[in-house]
Structure formats: C-alpha cells, structure tokens
Amino acid sequence: MTKALFDLLNALAPDTVLAVSGDAQITAPVSESADDVQRGGVFVARQGKSVDGHDFILKAIERGAAAVVGERPMQDLVVPYAQVRDSQNMLGWLAAAYHDFPSRKLIVIGVTGTDGKTTTSTLIHNILRVSTGGKAGLISTITADLGNATADTGLHVTTPSAPKIQEFLAQMVANGLTHAVIEMTSHGLAQGRLNGVDIDVAVLTNITHEHLDYHGSFEHYRAAKALMFEMLMKSTRKVDEWDKAVPKISVINADDANAKFFASIVADKIVTYGIENKAVFQAQNIRFLPDETQFETNKALWRWAVNFGEFRTRLLGKFNIMNILAAIGATHHLTGADADATWAGVVQVRTIPGRMERIDEGQDFTAIVDFAHTPNALKNALQTCKQMLEPEKKLIAVFGSAGLRDVEKRRLMAETSARLADFTILTAEDPRTESLDAILQMMAQGCESQGGIEGQTFMRVADRGEALYQACLMAQAGDIVISCGKGHEQSMAFGTVEYPWDDRDALRAALRGAPLKTLPTAAS
C-alpha cells in the first residue's frame, strides 16, 4: 500500500497542522515507537509520561522512516516533517488514513464501563458470529479475533495502541468480516487510541470507582467514558450487508446511577437494559440453579423463536445477567431481532478466561479465579460466591491492590471483603515501585475498620503464590476459595520488571500441594 504524506495529513482537522516541509511516499504503517518503525513508514513523535518521542526522531529515520510527525518545530531533517498541535490525538487519524479507514467498512460496536467490558464484548461477538456466519471480529483486553487469526492484546488490561487498533480493523476488512466489537477503556479513550474509529453502537456496562489516580476525579473518569458515545454521531453513516441503514444506537444500563447522563448524549436510538429499573430489555423470572442461570426478557420484543426471550447461561452471578442483557440490547437491531441466533450466541459462552473461572484439580472445595480489581467487581464476585455456598461453609478471598494506581481503592476493597468473605488473605498485585508492605498495611486497616481481626478473619501474605497455597490449606470440603484481581493476565510488576505470573497456574499449583514460586517475594 502506498500513500502520500499529504493524503494522511488531509485526515486531520486543518487547524491542527501547523507546518509541513515536503511530501513523501508512505509505503509502511504509522508508528509511535522508533523501534517499531518500518522502512517507508511514518514515525509520530509524542510526549509520553516518562519519555519524549521527539528524542527518538533520528533513530526512527535511521530505521527507515519516510516522514516524521511531531509537535516541536524541527529543521534540517533529511525526511519531510509535519508539525501538529497534538500528535498523540493525531496518531489514530493518521493510522486510520493509512489503512483507508477500515472501521468505515465495518459495523462497529464499542463497549465501555468499569466492570464487565470483556465479558460483554465476548458475548456480543459470539452473538454476531452466529448471526453473520462467522463474519464478526473482536478486539478485547484478552485477545483479538481477526477472522482467520487471533492476536494477543497485551500483558495487562488496556486498549491496544492506535496503530495496532487500525491494523487489526484493516485485517478484519481484508478477511471479509462485516462487524467488529471493540472493548474501549477509559485510558484508551482519553489518550486518543480510538481516534479514527467509526462506531455504530455504543454500549455502557456501568460506572463505579476506578482509575481516579489517572483521571483525577469521578467526573473526569465519566467524561472519558462519554467520549465513546460522543463518537457515535460524528461517525460516518453506514449500511449493513442487507443494504439497510444502520442507526447510531446507545445501549445503557438503566440500573446504573449515571444512566441519565449517558442517555443525554445524542443518538438515533437509545436502548436500555436492567433488572431493577424499567428497561427495554429487562430480566424477569431469574432462577439461579446449581449448573446454570435462567431468566426471561420482554417476550413481545422477539418476533419469532422457539425460546421467545428465554435465556440460560453457565456464567455465574447477577452481574453476568446484566452483561448478557447489554449484549442482547447491542445486537437486537443488528441481527434483525433473530432470537434464535441471540439465544445460541449466549448459551455457547460457557466461560470467559479469568472471569469467575473454576479451577478443578479434584479438590473437595470450589476454586475460582476472577479479574475483579475494583470495589464493585469484588463485591459482585463475593456476593455470587456467597449464593453458591451451602450453609456453614466458608468463603476465602485472596487479592491485593496495585501500586502506582488508585490509592483509595485499597481501603474500599479490603472493607468489602471484610464484610462479605469469611476469611481474607491480602497479598501482592503489581506493587510496581511502591512498598508492598505499605500497600498491605493500608488494606489491613480497611479490614480492621469493618471489625476484622488479623490472624482471625484476615492475614497478610506478601507472596501471592504462598497466599493461594495458604488459602487452599485452609479450605474445607464445600468451601470456596476465590483469587481476585489478576484474572487472565500473564505477568506481575515488581519495580519496573514484569515477572511471569498466571493466577490460574498459581491456583492449580496450590491445589496440587505447592506454591508457585515465580515472583521475587517467593525467595523471602
């Protein structure tokens, strides 16, 4: 693929391009990393939190960059240079332009919220795969399904970079896909990683306490999520594979306290879902059975189907009913209200990696790994486990709280576990450059504030492998051990180093009789 630099710059708003010195033929993708620049590509220099991309311009040119885009005035470069107002926000548009705006050739569903994004995205993707005959792609924090291949999307939860998002979408188009589901985090939205993506359906799971260390306030955090909904009406109008106009649809959790705020953002159609409050898609006649959950939705909405709005799922918990309702609301108009395809898409999702995932090594108690890393998600996970417990049986919770992240969350999560779990083990969870002992002390104070007594109702075990081992030693027949916070992630950060770590492997090791020892805390 060959593009002129001017063609890429034309994708930017005119007042954002301050100066251009020369044109160039661009034969490789746009990149924000000098190490990843391909010969003939464009290097976009931006100011990061710890490094400045402008310091790597010469390195990018040495690697073969055909042009450079940045914010500083630059002279005497041997390749054309474009100075722009905000290179971070321009990056997505430039990458989209290089790939001929692939999202304009797809029906795109964006999913955001504090909790439930990955599960909801996976459910939407599966419903659409059934209804389109496999022509639906997915970009989540676990994986990317590109149609004929899958790709990893990072060690830790995040939205991929703007160039990677556009590359994935372009591969979907090349593979003949018609729909794409994208999980959109608040960081990804605020940092412009979704710029250049045209979306048609915006889905909100919920908004609760999270990432206030980055956003500064709840209002700013909510505003970052709202960016996805504001993108709806700015996106191009599309038609589906049946040549029908696709309306711009907002799908909103009616049970969330912020529902009215998001409903006030203009869309062609607003679809609501919920359990407690009146909604277009409302769960009724909920039945929590040993092996599955059953519920019904408004039967009048389904034009035909054997089940007439009756659903069943192996996914656990009330919160997963909300995730399913969100997926139903998002796909209802895209599938022609085909309830059979919707039902099949839901029932086929039996588990999500690292989301209430059972680990079975033949033990006589239940062991679960869940990604719950916010106070609300932890509350939901523990409440679900309590519903599963037989009388007189105990719930043992193992979790930590990340370093260099939302400090208030540490106390809130510990308080939640002290109220709901029978025993809490506080442990490491990506302490980064903070003192792990200090983090655990803050969490211990949270347990104590709810009447917790160290040694009786909670304890601190710095090494996560040992913590899970102790939990399994403590568990009796019929009890539940749940490890929260890491889920599917494949590493844990101590200092500036990512150490190999998988909670599922660690719990399996503990169940087999020995702690997993891959973390620096294991030596002590």
CA distance 275 to 296: 11
Same domain, 46 and 152: no
Which residues in 243-365 belong to E strands, given as ranges? 245-246, 249-253, 269-274, 281-282, 284-288, 293-296, 310-313, 357-358
CATH code for position 252: 3.40.1190.10
Query: Does 293 fall in a domain?
Result: no
Query: Does 266 fall in a domain?
Result: yes
Query: Does 236 fall in a domain?
Result: yes
Query: Does 309 fall in a domain?
Result: no
CA 19 to chain centre: 37
Query: Are the C-beta atoms of 431 and 440 separated by less than 8 Å?
Result: no
Question: What burial letters (b/e) apply to 126-136, b meaning 16+ CB within 10 Å?
Answer: bbbbbbbeebb
Query: Does 311 fall in a domain?
Result: no
CA distance 16 to 479: 60
Looking at residue 152, what is its pLDDT?
A: 77
Query: Does 288 fall in a domain?
Result: no
CA distance 52 to 48: 6
Same domain, 361 and 341: no
Q: What is the mean pLDDT of the chain?
A: 91
Same domain, 39 and 143: no
CA distance 18 to 21: 11
The pTM of the full predicted model, rounded to 2 decimals, is 0.88
Same domain, 334 and 368: no
CA distance 424 to 476: 15
Same domain, 74 and 149: no
Q: Measuring CA to CA, which residue among 439, 442, 464 is closest to residue 520?
A: 464
CA distance 369 to 484: 6
CATH code for position 491: 3.90.190.20
Same domain, 132 and 226: yes
Same domain, 371 and 337: no
Q: Which of the four pLDDT bands, split at 50, 70 and 90, describes residue 301?
A: low
Looking at residue 40, what is its pLDDT?
A: 97
Looking at residue 239, what is its pLDDT?
A: 80
Same domain, 191 and 132: yes
Q: Which are the contacts of 164, defined by CB distance < 8 A and separation ≥ 6?
A: none
End-to-end, the C-alpha distance of the chain in Å comes to 54
Same domain, 81 and 148: no
Same domain, 369 and 469: yes
Domain limits for position 47? 3-98
> Taking residues 290-318, what's their average pLDDT?
75
pLDDT tens column, 216-268: 688 888 888 899 999 998 888 888 766 778 889 999 999 999 999 999 998 99
Q: Which two tokens stand for residue 152?
A: 């990893």
Looking at residue 306, what is its pLDDT?
A: 46
Query: Does 295 fall in a domain?
Result: no
Domain count, the chain: 3
Same domain, 88 and 108: no
CATH code for position 60: 3.40.1390.10
pLDDT tens column, 27-85: 999 999 999 999 999 999 998 877 899 999 999 999 999 999 999 999 889 999 999 99
With tokens 């188009």, the residue in question is: 173
What 3-state class would DSSP assign to 478?
Answer: coil
Looking at residue 524, what is its pLDDT?
A: 54
Boundary residue ending a domain (42, 63, 98): 98
Q: Measuring CA to CA, which residue among 368, 187, 88, 502 is closest to residue 518?
A: 502
Any bridge partners for residue 281, and if so which? 273
Same domain, 147 and 70: no
Q: Which are the contacts of 66, defined by CB distance < 8 A and separation ≥ 6?
A: 5, 24, 25, 26, 27, 28, 39, 40, 41, 42, 79, 80
Query: Does 299 fall in a domain?
Result: no
